[in-house]
Amino acid sequence: MEQIPDKLTHFNEQGRAVMVDVSDKPVTARTAAAEARITMAPDTLRRIREGSVAKGDVLAVAQVAGIQAAKRTSDWIPMCHPLPLTGVNVRFSDNGKDELTVTAEVKTTGRTGVEMEALTAVSAAALTVYDMCKAIQKDMVIGTIRLLAKTGGVNGDYGAKQPEHE
């Protein structure tokens, strides 16, 4: 588990939430990668892969949703800074049985990181998969949304440990 800093920066002297002032931070290249996993019936995954879902190409729509969500993260998450993203890449892979994995890589050059943008991208993409497939299967499970890696900034780089089940 990561260490929690002694002083939390998202609160002012009155204990109220603030958007952190990053004016004095240096501009650096920053990246973040995140993933979300969606568990579903094998037939649902097969139909996604074959492109036979009635609403259309699930992965193409989910990819656009993830990119759009990354760009609009500050509209969703109140204390996030609006950032000029320089790149967003949303990808999909599956285990060949019952699980679809969404990954997103986000880049910027700025004063604050893009972890929330990557996490928002995979969340929106996973929700879009659910939305497009809910007529086929309502009990899909979206889970294990996590940060995989981040680079840049004063706190340095981070890489997640692999879960024990992999």
Residuewise pLDDT in 10s, the chain (166 residues): 555 455 556 777 788 888 888 888 889 999 999 999 999 999 999 999 999 999 999 999 999 999 999 999 999 999 899 999 999 999 999 999 999 999 999 999 999 999 999 999 999 999 999 999 999 999 999 999 999 999 998 888 999 987 665 5
Give a yes or no: residue 4 inside a domain: no
Catalytic residue among 21, 24, 43, 131: 131
Q: How many domains does the chain have?
A: 1
Question: Is 91 a member of any domain?
Answer: yes
How many of the other CB atoms lie within 10 Å of CB of 119? 25
Assess whether 131 carries a catalytic annotation: yes
Q: Which long-range contacts (CB under 8 A, 24 or more apart) does 12-15 make?
A: none
In the chain, the amino acid numbered 158 is Y
Per-residue pLDDT at 26: 87
**How does DSSP assign 34-82, residue by residue?**
EEEEEE--HHHHHHHHHT--TT--HHHHHHHHHHHHHHTHHHHSTTPPP
DSSP 129-153: HHHHHTTT-S--EEEEEEEEEEE-S
How far apart are alpha carbons 62 and 54 in whole angstroms? Answer: 15
In a domain, residue 135? The reply is: yes
Strands 85-94, 158-159: pairing kind: unpaired
Asked, for residue 42, whether it belongs to a domain, the answer is: yes
Global pTM?
0.89
- Structural domain of residue 96, as residue ranges? 28-152
Q: Residue 11: inside a domain, yes or no?
A: no
Angle of helix 115-133 relative to helix 42-50, nearest 10 degrees?
Answer: 100
Name residue 17's beta-bridge partners: 11
Is the residue at 74 inside a domain?
Answer: yes
Q: Is residue 113 part of a domain?
A: yes
Which CATH number goes with the domain that contains 86?
3.30.70.640
For residue 5, is it within any domain?
Answer: no
